Structure 1
Amino acid sequence: MQRERLTSERIRKLELPTNIKQVFLWDTEAPRLAVRATVGSKSFIYESKLNRTTIRRTIGDIRAWTLEDARNEARRLQTLIDQGIDPRELDREQKEAKAAAKAAKVAAEQEAERRKHYTLKALCEAYCAHLKGQGKSKSARDTLSAFNCHVFETEHADTTAGEVTPHQIAGIVRSVFETGKERTAGILRNYLVAAYNAARRAPFDPTILSTLIDFQITTNPAEPVPAIGVNRGERTLTPDELKKYMEALGDTSVDQLLKLHIYAGGQRMIQLARAKVSDYTPDTGTLRIWDSKGKRRAAREHLIPLATEGKAILKNLAISKAPDAKLFVSERAAGDRIAEIRTEMGGAYFDARDLRRTCETILAGMGITKETRAHLLSHGLGGVQDAVYDKHAYTKEKRAALEAWEAKLAEITEGEAEKRKNVTSITKKKKAA
């Protein structure tokens, strides 16, 4: 083993003999330090023994390290050996620690990014997208509107959804309630409960939009907030008010929708507004609409066997339209038109739901049974008996009810004695049969 006190000149003059792969020049000042010459390069190395095992480390290229720095590094490594520490193991531990620190940094950055994107606002928007994907466009619009007005402008909108507390949800709902909007506050609370429940179930329920999984919701902070009871609507129009309302309807598309709404017995406006030309069968005078209200996974087919006036409305509307075209304008336009007529009429407030309630109230007074009214207006049919066992279509009963209903409307709107003579209660028709 050749040893000399290393100098820059001696290192420069060190040459690799022919047919030899490497040669070493060992230092006398730092005995474990050497310069290794190979084809095309020279580098400082350190070599020692630990537990009878030779340990060799490359310190670095002579162009990158000064001789003094190389000696100091050799002394450091020897100190570790003297302490029974293998520098290679120490390097591995440091490398692993560095990798772990890097991974932790990346994870922290990803979590920060997730926290920034998966906020309460984002959860609300994703839930509305889920509703729309289920075909509940009206519910999606109403829910998003409520969130826009009462959630997105609050200080909690940008809070990570999974970190929102019940106290914060209660504060959002309370701020609406204290403005006197009790019904709106109750609805908002229910929307928030539904949004969090959907996100909580998303990992396990394939029918829920998969984007809700990423919010990692495991609890529902809206559930501890008590439901807010609201008074059920009690408003019904008097016969005179109904007459004025009917007289205000003209021949525009939206007015035709409002007319059919009444002549069809007070069906849900949004469902009527979705009807297409292909949903009407002129031969039987039957209009098909789809009832997606409630927790149904799929919309329920609801058939309405119209009477004379109802059929006339649809006949005129369907003539010049393609089969996949909508029969009417949007439900929003219908609501605006009702508001316009209501303003012209004066008196107490009413909307489409009050008109629906008015229709059913009068139908009940005419002797139309509760069972027939339920099938005619598609409500209260979620029980086991109706959903599983009772498959009777009730077509005859519904048609008879609507025929009697049109006669009743004629009596209300025209007020003629002759019209009253033609009104036959459904109970009398049953006896005659």
Structure 2
Amino acid sequence: MGKLTVKEVQSIIKKSEPGRYGDSGGLYLMIPKSGAPYWMLRYTQHKKRRALTLGKHSHLTLAEARTAAEEFKKKIRSGEDPIAERKREEQAVINTVEDLFTDWHQGLVNRLKHPNIPKRIFIKEIAPQIGRHPLNKVSPMDVRSIIQKIAESNRPSIANDTLMYLKQLFNHGIKLGLITYNPASAFNVNDAGGVEKSRIRMLTLDELAHVFQVFRDHRDNFTRDNYLACALLVVLGVRKSELTESKWTEFDLDKSLWALPAERSKSGVAITIPLPPQAIEWLRELKVRACGSEYVFPSRRTSKRPHMGSDTLNRAISKLFGREPGRKLQPPNHMGELEHFTVHDLRRTCRSLLAALGVPGHVAERCLNHKLKGVEGIYDRYDYFDERKIALNQVATAVEPLINA
């Protein structure tokens, strides 16, 4: 194969006929069907034919392309793989904690059902303090500062979760050879939020009456959307995020059905929820209040989230108890002597009401979209839709006078 000349190269470029034009030693001028002409080196390594792009013709002259080809061929003869080396160089550079999290989180997306949970904790709790720190500059003191700040804001579960994610994050850095030790490894739950006890809080009917009365008395602070969300959580027993992030496309109000998809269900199982008449009434009001939004509870503030925030309800409830994180001057306690409760306690309240109304345990568990345990869970595939409909209607009838007072 004869070598190309400068004039021949110019002629090929001018004609722009797609093809591969050989020089010598595996060097080719490539004219693609679309895009700019470029130089390519073809070679054989480990009995495989390989092709390496050297650069665009506009960036490399014929002489420069030949020089580059010879340099790569020397590396090939010494056993190096220039394609693998180039891929390694093109990998994302990881210098800061934020860079490390981005790389770590990509793997979580494929492994975890809810990868947004560690992402939310990183953005809110970790990134503001050490996100831009170089990896080798993060110390155990930084870790302690992060988890203590969360614990002092009376969020023990978040403190424990944050510590867990910090350990996993820096272990990922060790795995990649970016750091040699984990600054979070020596800490345990006692340094963060403490050993978490299973909550048993549920509200009696008398307590529910008091709570919804306080909600109504302070409607300037506790919005109507919050009020109806709590009402629906008590009556339907669904999880907070399943309700507050729901879209109108999931509902058929005429048929009194809510089709909760598997990807939004914490259990990973889709379920059709029968809606009591009271719930239909509240949802129709929310439809009007949504003002055309695709979400049942659209965000009322300018934010990246299009729906109600994950902590909106708990913060609103805590404020009525005289607790407002981040404020030195706390608001007055309007709940009186009532024991504090969280949004998840409303789901437990629904379960307790089902039991008090004589609903069989397996039906009550399916009302909450819990998987049945043991052998019963393996063989019992019946969905108990009709039984669930009767049970939820009973709960709605029991609490409606307290909510619609």
Residue in 1 aligned with 2:116?
Answer: 140
Residue in 1 aligned with 2:294?
Answer: 325
Report the Cα distance in structure 2 between the residues aligned to 1:219 and 1:369, rounded to whole angstroms: 55
Report the Cα distance in structure 2 between the residues aligned to 1:232 and 1:401, rounded to whole angstroms: 26
Structure 1 pair 223/331, CA: closer, same or farther in 2 (3 Å)? Answer: farther
Residue in 1 aligned with 2:129?
Answer: 153
Report the Cα distance in structure 2 between the residues aligned to 1:295 and 1:157, rounded to whole angstroms: 34
Of residues 205, 226, 237 in structure 2, which corresponds to 1:239? 205
Whether the 8 Å contact between 1:254 and 1:334 is mirrored in structure 2 is: yes
Count of residues paired in the alignment: 292
Structure 1 pair 223/302, CA: closer, same or farther in 2 (3 Å)? Answer: farther
Whether the 8 Å contact between 1:254 and 1:328 is mirrored in structure 2 is: no
Of residues 341, 345, 365 in structure 1, which corresponds to 2:335? 345
Amino acid aligned to 1:377: L
Structure 1 pair 370/195, CA: closer, same or farther in 2 (3 Å)? Answer: farther
Alpha-carbon shift at residue 187 of structure 1 (Å): 1.2
Point out where structure 2 has 5 or more consecutive residues left out of the alignment: 1-73, 299-306, 323-333
Amino acid aligned to 2:125: C
Residue in 2 aligned with 1:287?
Answer: 258
Whether the 8 Å contact between 2:230 and 2:346 is mirrored in structure 1 is: no
Of residues 245, 252, 255 in structure 1, which corresponds to 2:224? 252
Residue in 2 aligned with 1:261?
Answer: 233
Structure 1 pair 384/261, CA: closer, same or farther in 2 (3 Å)? Answer: same
Report the Cα distance in structure 1 between the residues aligned to 2:263 and 2:195, rounded to whole angstroms: 24
Whether the 8 Å contact between 1:372 and 1:397 is mirrored in structure 2 is: yes
Matched residue SS, 2:362? helix
Amino acid aligned to 1:309: Q
Structure 1 pair 364/171, CA: closer, same or farther in 2 (3 Å)? Answer: farther
Alpha-carbon shift at residue 252 of structure 1 (Å): 3.1
Whether the 8 Å contact between 1:143 and 1:191 is mirrored in structure 2 is: no
Whether the 8 Å contact between 2:235 and 2:350 is mirrored in structure 1 is: no
Alpha-carbon shift at residue 178 of structure 1 (Å): 5.6
Report the Cα distance in structure 1 between the residues aligned to 2:272 and 2:126, rounded to whole angstroms: 38
Report the Cα distance in structure 2 between the residues aligned to 1:291 and 1:219, rounded to whole angstroms: 41
Report the Cα distance in structure 2 between the residues aligned to 1:252 and 1:268, rounded to whole angstroms: 19
Structure 1 pair 353/313, CA: closer, same or farther in 2 (3 Å)? Answer: same
Of residues 276, 280, 290 in structure 2, which corresponds to 1:311? 280
Amino acid aligned to 2:199: G
Whether the 8 Å contact between 1:277 and 1:322 is mirrored in structure 2 is: no
Amino acid aligned to 1:398: R
Q: How big is each residue's C-alpha offset from its partner over 1:94-148, in whole Å with a ceiling of 9 and x where there is no partner? A: xx79x99xx9xxx8xx88x9796254432324455666789977x6266433564
Amino acid aligned to 2:394: A
Q: How big is each residue's C-alpha offset from its partner over 1:184-222, in whole Å with a ceiling of 9 and x where there is no partner? A: 43212332355578x69xxxxxxxxxxxx9x57999957
Structure 1 pair 177/315, CA: closer, same or farther in 2 (3 Å)? Answer: closer
Whether the 8 Å contact between 1:124 and 1:144 is mirrored in structure 2 is: no
Report the Cα distance in structure 1 between the residues aligned to 2:226 and 2:245, rounded to whole angstroms: 13
Residue in 2 aligned with 1:428?
Answer: none
Whether the 8 Å contact between 1:288 and 1:301 is mirrored in structure 2 is: yes
Matched residue SS, 1:287? strand
Matched residue SS, 2:195? coil
Structure 1 pair 145/389, CA: closer, same or farther in 2 (3 Å)? Answer: same
Residue in 1 aligned with 2:99?
Answer: 122
Alpha-carbon shift at residue 352 of structure 1 (Å): 0.6
Residue in 1 aligned with 2:270?
Answer: 301
Amino acid aligned to 1:124: F
Is 1:189 aligned to residue 163 of structure 2?
yes
Report the Cα distance in structure 1 between the residues aligned to 2:165 and 2:375, rounded to whole angstroms: 27
Is 1:405 aligned to residue 389 of structure 2?
no
Report the Cα distance in structure 1 between the residues aligned to 2:198 and 2:314, rounded to whole angstroms: 20
309-318 or 393-402, which moves further after superposition? Answer: 309-318
Q: How big is each residue's C-alpha offset from its partner over 1:285-317, in whole Å with a ceiling of 9 and x where there is no partner? A: 111224658987xx4313221212111112333
Report the Cα distance in structure 1 between the residues aligned to 2:266 and 2:281, rounded to whole angstroms: 34
Point out where structure 1 has 5 or more consecutive residues left out of the alignment: 1-95, 201-212, 416-433
Of residues 362, 366, 383 in structure 1, which corresponds to 2:353? 362
Matched residue SS, 1:300? coil
Report the Cα distance in structure 1 between the residues aligned to 2:96 and 2:373, rounded to whole angstroms: 36
Q: How big is each residue's C-alpha offset from its partner over 1:139-192, in whole Å with a ceiling of 9 and x where there is no partner? A: 6266433564346624994216xx99xxx6x76655556665553432123323
Alpha-carbon shift at residue 268 of structure 1 (Å): 1.0
128-137 or 312-321, which moves further after superposition? Answer: 128-137
Alpha-carbon shift at residue 243 of structure 1 (Å): 1.0
Report the Cα distance in structure 1 between the residues aligned to 2:161 and 2:319, rounded to whole angstroms: 26
Structure 1 pair 177/290, CA: closer, same or farther in 2 (3 Å)? Answer: same
Alpha-carbon shift at residue 336 of structure 1 (Å): 3.8
Report the Cα distance in structure 1 between the residues aligned to 2:110 and 2:384, rounded to whole angstroms: 32
Whether the 8 Å contact between 2:147 and 2:162 is mirrored in structure 1 is: no
Amino acid aligned to 1:328: F
Alpha-carbon shift at residue 241 of structure 1 (Å): 2.8
Matched residue SS, 1:345? coil
Of residues 246, 252, 269 in structure 2, which corresponds to 1:275? 246
Report the Cα distance in structure 2 between the residues aligned to 1:294 and 1:173, rounded to whole angstroms: 33
Q: Which has the higher contact order (CA 8 A, sep 6+)?
A: 2
